[in-house]
Structure 1
Amino acid sequence: MEIKLIKRKLKSGRTSLVLEYYMGYSVAANGTTRPQRKFETLEYYLYTDPKNKLERDHNKVNLEMAEKVKAKRLLAEQNEQYGFAVKYKIRTNLVEYIKGLIEQRKESPGNWGNWDSALKHLVAYAGTNTTFEMVDKKFVEGFKTYLAKQAKTKSGTALSTNSQSSYFLKLKAALNQAVEDGIIPHSPAMSVKPAHVEDVHREYLTFDELQRLAKTKCPYPVLKDAFLFSCLTGMRWSDINKLTWAEVQEFDGGTRIVFRQKKTKGLEYLDITGQAVRYMGQRGKADERVFAGLKYSA
């Protein structure tokens, strides 16, 4: 099998990155040949005509990521083709592998904590000596049942369906990553669906409440400024926490923030109001955080 990385221009001004799998050809009754191909659209895209350094950097990073995916797909195909779906890799310890994935998320406390909780439930279900060769569809379904009927919170109550779904999806994501890493040829969780997620009631601040908060003293001024800035811009905590002055640009008499979202990795352009600008304070050096000293604890 041959795998190529191809580019497809979109009307949106972006270019989609697609893997083309060439699997030989078939011969019709009249003797004509027809190539057999399949395509996989990747989650990465390029700016067709990059207009600045940020967009050029975006293209460079996404192209590198797409090449890595191509290399992993090729390795997985070769492993399966030659029958050594890497027997030594399939003996990899599942818990230790997931610990490695969790370590990669240490800069995102909320996400890290969710993965850590999922792993604790997995250990309670299967212990610490489980290897990938022991993980099949029955194992995955058993974990789903365990979360629904046996798993408990720290306070001893049953898990909500949303927590069940979240923890199950962590195992599913780990198995998908293991496929990417060439440890297993396919994920045994592919056809197993998570628990149905219930709609969660969310509380929102009213305009009057927000005005009262703005007038209320806070022992941590940077926390108050960052919170009100979030309310005025809609930016996530993770993006505000890492925001630097290099990402704050003066544009046509206004202020624009050009940043890469931590969650989606997408490049964003956000024009903000003068009221939001005031909460950022005095401009610092390009590499300095706008909200220096802002801390978070779960």
Structure 2
Amino acid sequence: MARVRKPQKVKEPIRLRMKNLSDGSKSLYLDIYRDGKRTYEYLKMYIIPETNNNARKQNQVTMDAANAIKSKRIIELTSGEAGFENREKIYLLDWMNTYKENQAKRGKKDGSQIKVAIGILKTFAGERTTMDQIDKTFCQGYIDYLLTEYRPKGKRVSNYTLKCYYRVLDGALNSAVRAEIIKVNPFTKIEKSDKIRLPESKRSYMTIEEVRALIATPMKHEEVKNAYLFSCFCGLRISDVIGLKWKDVFMDRGQYRLAVSMQKTKDPVYLPLSPEALKWMPERGDKTSSDPVFDLPSPTYVNVLLKDWAKAAGISKRFSFHTSRHTFATMMLTLGADLYTTSKLLGHADVKMTQVYAKIVNRKKDEAVNLVNGLFD
């Protein structure tokens, strides 16, 4: 009798797999293998421990939904709807390295962040992912991977750091659009609520009473004190104060102004100087136009000196030179300057960057009106 051969099992191009998570649940993802290349799609779906009947039912619903997505992907893959056949094969990791080199040529100092992001992408998607496979699902999967599974040395990193690695890929894809490698950056299709969110930034600033206390408190390094108070009344960063030359100070129709190229943004800004700001500028004497206005030590030592000075003035809040910039912004808004004008004085590229100070002022208003609570009971 002839031996009956068992039907050969056909390997699926896409398999549904699970990854164990630290909380006992399992993350579902698709293992996609095509033309000798392996990629992964994280589904943002989770199997929970089956501690009761409801958990078992929930897991069954989740598995049914995951298998439906898997079936859809297989149809797309085999029918060519995903466009694999017609586009030039450019590997994601190759493009990331090209992007890293281009950033270095432009003088950008984000090479170390890009290097880490390349390592994350290699773990997340493998080495054979091509640019034509980067879609909204891939980008959302990358965000979810950063938030739920990326654990260097077994520890979760802050959202500030994760945001950097998200921005690296976002920037690389924007660059790919400009190079006509892809038509659109898929990150633009993702809702803001689904991206990596940062806690609201806290701005430490001095109140008018605290500025008065600082003015009244002597400091051994008088130049540092003067530079800090000068910034309280014009909003310059420490890098801009250090870089300020006498040639940058000029008179325009009876108004003293500064011509400053912001160290952070490189944008030129023309700032009017109030009499209060001028009060803290040193005398020019015989200094040349190329001499610095303020003769300051290193920024690190400046902040050491400032902390001792603040302590002597009775100020216990977080204190550094940058609080002078925050102080200027909140003071302007508190005294009635509008948001747009304050934004321009700070040299912000977008007024949205200045809105955090408006929130501070609004909180101060809320606190002020509530001071009367209980007075008339």
Shorter-chain TM-score: what band?
0.5 to 0.7
Q: In the TM superposition, what is the alpha-carbon distance from 1:286 to its structure 2 partner?
A: 3.1
Distance 2:288 2:237 in 1: 22
Residue 217 in structure 1 maps to residue 219 in structure 2? yes
> Per-residue deviation at 1:257?
1.1
Structure with the higher fraction of residues in strand conformation? 1
How far residue 256 of structure 1 moved from its aligned partner, in angstroms, is 0.7
Q: Specify the structure having the higher radius of gyration (Cα).
A: 2
Cα distance change, pair 294–122 in 1 and its aligned pair in 2 (3 A): farther
Count the aligned residue pairs.
207
**Aligned 8 A contact 2:227 2:241 in 1:** yes
SS in 2 for 1:190: helix
Q: Distance in 2 between matches of 1:294 and 1:103?
A: 31
Distance (Å, rounded) in 2 between the aligned partners of 1:135 and 1:225: 57
- Sort the Cα spacing of 1:287 and 1:164 in 2 relative to 1 into closer, same or farther, 3 A: same
Q: Deviations over 1:245-285 (max 9, x none)?
A: 22211233431112344455544321112332343324343
Name 2:188's counterpart in structure 1: 190
Please report the TM-score for the alignment, with normalisation by the length of structure 2: 0.43
Root mean square deviation, CA, Å: 4.2
Question: Whole-Å Cα distance in 2 between the matches of residues 102 and 183 of structure 1?
Answer: 20
Q: Which runs of 5+ in 1 are unaligned?
A: 1-83, 107-111
- 2:19 maps to none
* Paired residues for 1:154-169 under 5 Å: 156-160=155-159, 162-169=160-167
Q: Which residue number corresponds to residue 290 of structure 1?
A: 293
The percent identity for this pair of structures is 24
Match in the other structure for 2:168: 170
Distance 1:88 1:126, change over 3 A: closer
Q: Deviations over 1:63-94 (max 9, x none)?
A: xxxxxxxxxxxxxxxxxxxxx98867977441
Question: Once the two structures are superposed, what CA deviation does each residue of 1:21-67 show, in whole Å capped at 9, x if it has no partner?
Answer: xxxxxxxxxxxxxxxxxxxxxxxxxxxxxxxxxxxxxxxxxxxxxxx
Letter in 2 for 1:120: V
Deviations 1:146-167 (A, max 9, x none): 221134589944423x554454
| Contact 2:114-2:165 at 8 Å conserved across structures | yes
| 8 Å contact kept, 2:257–2:270 | yes
Q: Secondary structure at the match of 2:158?
A: coil
Q: What is the TM-score with the length of structure 1 in the denominator? A: 0.52
Does residue 1:256 correspond to 2:257, yes or no?
yes
Structure 2's unaligned 5+ residue stretches are 1-85, 304-377
Q: What is the match of residue 143 of structure 1?
A: 142
Identify if the C-alpha distance between structure 1 residues 267 and 146 changes in structure 2 by more than 3 Å, giving closer, same or farther: same
The residue type paired with residue 131 of structure 2 is E
Secondary structure at 1:189's aligned position in 2? helix
Instruction: Say yes or no: does 1:98 pair with 2:96.
Output: no
CA deviation after TM superposition for structure 1 residue 117, in Å: 4.4
Distance 1:236 1:202 in 2: 14
Give the letter for the 1:150 counterpart. E
2:269 and 2:261 map into 1 onto residues whose CA distance is: 6
Describe the SS at the equivalent of 2:233.
Answer: helix
Partner of 1:126: 122
Secondary structure at 2:202's aligned position in 1?
Answer: coil
Residues 1:277 and 2:278 aligned together: yes
Residue in 1 that maps onto 2:177: 179
Work out the CA distance in 2 between the residues paired with 1:224 and 1:86: 61
Counterpart mapping for 1:29-108 below 5 A = 92-95=94-97, 97-98=99-100, 100-101=102-103, 104=106
Equivalents in 1 of 2:250, 2:131: separation in Å?
52
Give me the whole-angstrom Cα distance separating, in 1, the residues matched to 2:277 and 2:114: 38
Partner Cα separation in structure 2 for residue 132 and residue 262 of structure 1 = 38
The 1-side partners of 2:232 and 2:294 are apart by 15
Aligned mates of 1:205, 1:131 — CA distance in 2: 51
Higher normalized helix content (fraction of residues): 2
Q: CA contact under 8 A between 2:238 and 2:299: conserved in structure 1?
A: no
Q: Find the aligned partners of 1:282 and 1:204 in 2 and give their Cα distance.
A: 28
Aligned equivalent of 1:42: none
Q: 1:87 to 1:272 in 2, by over 3 A?
A: same
**Partner in structure 1 of residue 201 of structure 2:** 200
Instruction: Return closer, same or farther for 1:217/1:293 CA change in 2, 3 Å cut-off.
Output: closer
Counterpart-to-counterpart distance in 2, 1:182 and 1:174: 12
